[in-house]
């Protein structure tokens, strides 16, 4: 992609995200988020494996304090909970040259299973929201673009009823799932987002050793740049989505990852453009063949008329 054009697109992205970060809606939502426990990396992985679309998780008691209750028949997300306990221990000490036995209290940790639930598994009091708006516009050549994205993806893409998320990439099974009834622009944007995840989150990738918020900022920024190149406006979704994963760090995460974002988006754009050129070439050849067939048919018809006139 042309450097000047890329600069214009990334500036639009950065300004849009900053505007979302400065909004009252975002600050109110951030205050709500601060009430949630910060889980260890191992527990984050457990949550992701069991419910990839989880956004805000808490235990039964915490949700009750927030005025929300677990939906009927919901399955909890298992995590490992540290449980401290105290124990009296006899220790030997040297006092005035003599060995003395003393009792000291020490704290130890046990670990047990615990269960948490995502906000999507609860109901009750309305919570502050900072949700991206679903993209509803139709797209010219939608089927062609969709087929191209499926073709250039190194990971199989399939559709399903996902009961919440628009899509997700599973690194352990190396596959992409897309919600099957999304509007056209949202479907294409989600596909690019998940293809980006399949590149930067793949365990074999040099980019995979990053926290989840960084990966989400990368994937959505890549989707924005690729979609902008295809004349698809994803601003209403992307600006809020990226802001939601920065957790109050302004656009720092976005800026720090621009090299990765540019590299992956350039690669995807080149692949898409190459496929589009191939299709245009085929369409031109088919059109030319059609025109030649029409001309040949006319010549044949004229020759037949002349022959009939001679016969007369």
pLDDT of residue 300: 55
Q: What is the pLDDT of residues 187-239, one digit of tens each?
A: 999 999 999 999 998 888 888 888 888 899 999 999 999 999 999 999 999 99
Q: What is the pLDDT of residue 288?
A: 41
Could you tell me whether strands 57-58 and 68-70 are parallel, antiparallel, or unpaired per DSSP bridges?
unpaired
Residue 251: left if φ>0, alpha if ψ -120 to 50, beta else—which one? alpha
d(CA 88, CA 177): 53
> Quick one: which of 57, 113, 54 has its CA closest to 80?
113
Q: What's residue 282's pLDDT?
A: 62
Tell me the sheet residues that pair with 109: 84
Radius of gyration of the chain (CA): 29
Q: Which residue is listed with tokens 């709500």?
A: 32
DSSP state of 58: E
Question: How many angstroms separate the CA atoms of 53 and 46, rounded?
Answer: 12
pTM of structure: 0.67
Task: Compute the distance between CA of residue 297 and CA of residue 155 in angstroms, rounded to an integer.
Answer: 47
* Chain centre to alpha carbon of residue 269: 18
- Spans of the chain, pLDDT less than 50: 284-286, 288-289, 291-292, 295-296, 299, 306-307
What's the confidence (pLDDT) of residue 157? 97
CB 234 within 8 A of CB 185: yes
Positive or negative torsion for Cα 46, 49, 55, 57: negative
Burial (0-12, 13-18, 19+ Cβ within 10 Å), 264? buried
The residue whose two tokens read 């980006």 is 196
The pLDDT value given to residue 305: 58
CA dist., res. 192 & res. 198, Å (int): 10
Helix (H, G, I), strand (E, B) or coil at 180: coil
Report whether 199 contacts 223 (CB < 8 A): no
Closest CA relative to residue 227, chosen from 199, 182, 188, 274: 188
pLDDT at 34: 64
The terminus-to-terminus CA distance of the chain in angstroms comes to 67
The dihedral built from the CA positions of residue 278, 280, 284 and 286, taken in this order, carries a sign that is positive
């Amino acid at each position: 992609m042309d450097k000047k054009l890329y600069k214009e697109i990334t500036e639009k992205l950065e300004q849009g995200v900053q505007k979302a970060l400065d909004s009252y809606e975002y600050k109110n939502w951030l205050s709500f988020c601060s009430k949630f426990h910060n889980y260890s990396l191992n527990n984050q992985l457990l949550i992701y494996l069991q419910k990839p679309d989880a956004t805000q998780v808490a235990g039964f008691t915490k949700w009750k304090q927030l005025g929300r209750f677990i939906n009927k028949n919901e399955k909890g997300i298992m995590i490992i909970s540290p449980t401290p306990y105290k124990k009296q221990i006899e220790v030997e000490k040297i006092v005035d040259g003599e060995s003395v036995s003393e009792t000291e209290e020490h704290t130890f940790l046990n670990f047990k299973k615990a269960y948490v639930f995502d906000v999507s598994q609860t109901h009750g009091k309305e919570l502050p929201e900072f949700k991206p708006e679903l993209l509803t516009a139709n797209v010219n050549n939608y089927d062609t673009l969709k087929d191209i994205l499926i073709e250039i993806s190194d990971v199989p893409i399939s559709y399903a009823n996902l009961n919440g998320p628009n899509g997700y990439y599973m690194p352990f099974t190396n596959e992409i799932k897309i919600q099957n009834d999304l509007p056209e622009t949202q479907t294409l944007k989600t596909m690019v987002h998940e293809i980006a995840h399949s590149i930067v989150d793949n365990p074999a990738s040099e980019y995979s050793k990053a926290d989840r918020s960084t990966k989400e900022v990368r994937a959505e920024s890549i989707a924005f740049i690729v979609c902008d190149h295809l004349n698809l406006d994803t601003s209403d979704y992307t600006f809020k989505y990226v802001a939601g994963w920065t957790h109050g760090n302004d656009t720092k995460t976005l800026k720090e990852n621009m090299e990765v974002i540019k590299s992956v988006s350039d690669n995807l754009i080149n692949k898409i453009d190459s496929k589009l050129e191939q299709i245009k070439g085929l369409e031109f050849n088919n059109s030319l063949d059609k025109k030649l067939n029409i001309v040949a048919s006319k010549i044949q018809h004229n020759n037949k008329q002349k022959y009939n006139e001679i016969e007369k």
